[in-house]
Chains A and B, each alone.
Chain A
């Protein structure tokens, strides 16, 4: 798979010197790397919750939360997260634990040209499905939207939520590339859930789904940060347009199939 022109990297290492060294070593034809640096595990987890990254470089030995704990936390939040562990510890035990926790690989410091080549070749081969949340108090509504995505041949893992509260809990627990929120739900409405989700992650891409064709609701949702809206009954051409806008407007992450229709 062709790599994007810009790759967002989360680099967690408690040594400032090592971070500078790693950044300096990361050069690859046609790709520009944008690093977000943190010097401890807790900040690495917080950074990944606040926005998605194409991949993560994670030092194993850090004060507080160590690299393996961070790997576990990040992979629990985003099961498709691409994480490479970096360490000067060359013992097999550390490497095996990292693999068990779902790391893409284990790189020995300092990062050599061979290691970089291994990382980039690995990233080129990555394919990850879109993580989709569909919140609708009607299971019928959830199933119809999932069917619509299947008909567009979008490779996705769809999680359902039966009300707004469940949607917010899901977003707190897991990463989603796109969130479809029904407006009209009991307990916590889609509008209330939208506010809560945007306060958790400002860049969350949220599409309001409603049978309410009056523009008042749409305007209110837009004012609160909704990225798009989709009318029920969901018609394929409309879903296609919504998906294309999502692919153009939302950040593009490595490994996602090109699905602009």
Chain B
């Protein structure tokens, strides 16, 4: 239990390992994506998605994925060339991944928890970092998930009070 009496992430079983397992399963449901073009400038940009949980445990799941990786996943799923993918399609894919992680965590937390709809921002890496910082709270899970030769950042941010 946290100081405020609400459950902590660890109480709920929200750990790097449990989050990584959910992400593994979510990514394995996609068709095999092509390797992103490493020379593409899109690798400097990221798609940032977050979804919040409010209840016995309150916090946010934040996923930051390079645009090149998001484009590869989108391309494989919708069978469209990476060059023709829109930001909306990429946002849908990364938003859905954050929603799946948050929804599965809701199962670990138990009853009475509300899950928000995912929010997605596509921006350059620096701007996205600033947005991530604006999600105030304690970062309780923070790891880098390598996928398609690129680094994807996953954070779980815990709020002391129920409101994000």
Chain A interfacial positions (CB closer than 8 Å to B): 137-141, 143-144, 147-148, 184, 186, 210-216, 231-235
Can you list 27 A-B contacts (CB < 8 A)?
A: A138-B96, A139-B89, A140-B74, A140-B92, A140-B93, A140-B95, A144-B30, A147-B31, A184-B117, A210-B103, A211-B100, A211-B101, A211-B102, A211-B104, A212-B103, A212-B107, A213-B104, A214-B107, A214-B109, A214-B111, A231-B104, A232-B100, A232-B103, A233-B22, A233-B100, A235-B25, A235-B29
Contacts of A213 in B (CB 8 A): 103-104, 106-108
Residue pair A138, B26 in contact (C-beta under 8 Å)? no
Residue pair A216, B99 in contact (C-beta under 8 Å)? no
The closest CB in chain A to the CB of B27 belongs to A233
Residue pair B111, A144 in contact (C-beta under 8 Å)? no
Contacts of B102 in A (CB 8 A): 211
Chain B interfacial positions (CB closer than 8 Å to A): 22, 25-26, 28-31, 74, 77-78, 89, 92-93, 95-97, 99-104, 106-113, 115, 117
Contacts of A233 in B (CB 8 A): 22, 25-26, 28-29, 100
Contacts of A216 in B (CB 8 A): 111-112
Q: Which of A138, A214, A232 touches B110 (beta carbons < 8 Å)? A: A214
Residue pair B78, A211 in contact (C-beta under 8 Å)? no
Contacts of B97 in A (CB 8 A): 140
Q: Which of B31, B103, B108 touches A211 (beta carbons < 8 Å)? A: B103
Residue pair A212, B115 in contact (C-beta under 8 Å)? yes
Residue pair B29, A138 in contact (C-beta under 8 Å)? no
CA distance in complex: A227, B106 (Å): 22
Residue pair A186, B29 in contact (C-beta under 8 Å)? no
B88 CB, nearest partner CB in chain A, Å: 9
B95 CB, nearest partner CB in chain A, Å: 7
The closest CB in chain A to the CB of B112 belongs to A216
CA distance in complex: A213, B104 (Å): 5
CA distance in complex: A191, B97 (Å): 22
Closest 7 pairs between A and B when the two form their complex, measured CB to CB = A213-B107, A211-B103, A140-B96, A233-B26, A138-B96, A211-B100, A212-B103
B98 CB, nearest partner CB in chain A, Å: 10
Contacts of B89 in A (CB 8 A): 139
The closest CB in chain B to the CB of A141 belongs to B96
The closest CB in chain B to the CB of A136 belongs to B96
Contacts of A215 in B (CB 8 A): 107
Contacts of B107 in A (CB 8 A): 212-215
Residue pair A144, B110 in contact (C-beta under 8 Å)? no
CA distance in complex: A231, B103 (Å): 9
CA distance in complex: A216, B115 (Å): 13
A32 CB, nearest partner CB in chain B, Å: 42
A141 CB, nearest partner CB in chain B, Å: 6
Residue pair B99, A184 in contact (C-beta under 8 Å)? yes
